[in-house]
């Protein structure tokens, strides 16, 4: 399988995972919504970087790489917004899985948090899909 095929598979998976995030939101699983949005954004952006022939870091936080390699080709404000969303979701990833020392994950995130991350993940997906056209 070629890198292009893998990159497109990442982006397709990102779309599916975003749908799973919406389903988690509908069921009131707000911490899972955050987790799924993070996963979707990370895969979509890594797919985009792969399509551009850029080796992405094997980390969850990829905002700096995104800015370093895409600014100049793409509106820097839009790139920075996607990078900021990606990095914030990467920070929220661990608590959305494990909670904190004294609070379970499902009590750390509420409906407003989940709605916010879905909107942000959707904006990143639109960004990625528009660049593919």
Q: What is the CATH number of the domain that holds 94?
A: 1.20.120.330
pLDDT of amino acid 1 = 46
- The range of the structural domain enclosing residue 115 comes to 3-132
Q: How many domains does the chain have?
A: 1
In tens digits, the chain (133 residues) has pLDDT values of: 467 888 999 999 999 999 999 999 999 999 999 999 999 999 999 999 998 888 777 878 888 888 888 767 788 899 999 999 999 999 999 999 999 999 999 999 999 999 999 999 999 999 999 988 7
Q: What would the two tokens of residue 91 be?
A: 């920070």
Structure pTM?
0.92
Exposed / middle / buried, residue 3 (Cβ in 10 Å: 0-12, 13-18, 19+): exposed
């Amino acid at each position: 399988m070629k890198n292009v095929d893998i990159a497109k598979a990442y982006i397709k998976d990102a779309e599916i995972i975003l749908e799973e995030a919406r389903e988690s939101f509908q069921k009131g699983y707000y911490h899972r919504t955050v987790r799924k949005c993070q996963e979707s954004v990370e895969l979509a952006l890594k797919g985009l970087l792969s399509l551009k022939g850029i080796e992405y870091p094997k980390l969850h936080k990829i905002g700096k790489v995104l800015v370093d390699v895409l600014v100049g080709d793409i509106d820097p404000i839009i790139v920075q917004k996607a990078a900021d969303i990606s990095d914030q979701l990467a920070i929220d990833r661990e608590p959305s899985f494990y909670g904190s020392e004294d609070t379970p994950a499902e009590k750390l995130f509420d409906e407003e948090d989940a709605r916010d991350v879905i909107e942000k993940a959707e904006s990143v997906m639109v960004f990625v899909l528009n660049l593919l056209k």
